[in-house]
Copies of this chain bind each other. A is one copy, B any other.
Amino acid sequence: MPRTGERGATLHDVAERAGVNVATASRALNEERRQLVGADTAKRVLAAAEALDYQPHPFGRGLKTNRSQTVGVLVPDLTNPLYPPIVRGIDDALSAAGYTPLIANTDNDPERERQSFDALASRQVDGFIFATALRRHPLLAEAAERGLTLALVLRGTSAARLPGAAVDERAGMRSTLAHLRELGHRRVGYVAGPQEMSPPYERRRAFLALRKGMELDGDPDLVRVARSFAIADGRRLAGELLAATRPPTAIVAANDQLALGCLDAIAEAGLRCPRDISVVGCNDMPLADRITPALTTVRVPQYELGRKSAELLLQGLEAGGDPLGTVRLVPTLIIRHTTGAISGGR
């Protein structure tokens, strides 16, 4: 027979041992209601609980309070190195507050997303953190309707003005463009990521907005949009950029994968990076420092992003009066070897 966890001591046991009623025991055990109980009684109850190693049963409690101390975390794909640190940040913040995350992968697939959402909702999560990157999202409205508390991570302001933590894309872009300008680049290309996701969208907007004020070439042909983050896409688009009449002297990519593709295209064109052309990635994925040449990239504070989003959620969960708006965390440009001074010959 499939055995399952033996039941431990119940509140009833504790009450009995302390010689009080379960109601009294319950009060004594609850921080906030403890004062409603005699000081010595409380002490006895606590002692009894301690002695029996009493753990409140979450189902009994949940049934009564309609809360699970649990939150759903919807993430596109744990296998994408962008997310694990975020999830750890979420986990750490949540755990510290006595909440447990329920993590589900969505693969950015609406159907899977819906299933995961339903599954977690039916598990009575108290709220959700959407790490999923789609900009428009039907689930958000539905979740709000169901009375669930929400927070976003890695997404800019949503229509619903939900609390969330996101990257300060303008700051990141400003650092990278300033770096390139200093190296003498004026004509810099951009390989954008899929625009239905929030970060790539904002990143491209930031590029467009910032290059104007920074004496960079405003040629619209310098911007290409990838349909995915696949290396092959980066390679193809960078190839187009390089084949143009006036190719850029530097390429900024929306993430490290695309940057890898750019590197491939550059090699394919018989050029050398950074001698002939510079490349900047984004996210600083593991081993980005070990490829050749080591990738200059924008490091986003993944852990802190996760942590912050969880804190915002908790705020909504505990304090009420939902915290509004998006907290922007500033990324750091990590200068390595794919960026260099503009080559004399070009």
Residues of A in contact with B (beta carbons under 8 Å apart): 1-7, 55-60, 62-63, 66-68, 77-79, 81, 84-85, 87-88, 91, 95, 100-105, 119-127, 146-149, 260, 285-288, 290-292, 316-320
Rounded to whole Å, the gap between the CB of A271 and the closest CB of chain B is 17
* A66 in contact with B7 given A78-B87, A119-B95 (CB within 8 Å): yes
Name A92's closest neighbour in chain B (CB-CB): B105
Provide the residues of chain B in CB contact with A291, threshold 8 Å. 287, 290-292
Which of A1, A59, A124 has the most CB atoms of chain B within a 10 A radius of its CB?
A59
* A78 in contact with B78 given A126-B5, A290-B291 (CB within 8 Å): yes
Contact A91 B79 (CB under 8 A): no
Copies in the complex: 2
Which of A67, A81, A87, A290 has the most CB atoms of chain B within a 10 A radius of its CB?
A290
Contact A5 B63 (CB under 8 A): no
Contact B5 A124 (CB under 8 A): yes
Provide the residues of chain B in CB contact with A102, threshold 8 Å. 100, 102
* A5 in contact with B147 given A55-B122, A59-B63, A119-B100 (CB within 8 Å): yes
Name A317's closest neighbour in chain B (CB-CB): B2
* A123 in contact with B78 given A2-B319, A2-B320, A290-B287 (CB within 8 Å): no
Provide the residues of chain B in CB contact with A148, threshold 8 Å. 4-5
Which of A2, A62, A105, A127 has the most CB atoms of chain B within a 10 A radius of its CB?
A2
Contact B88 A78 (CB under 8 A): yes
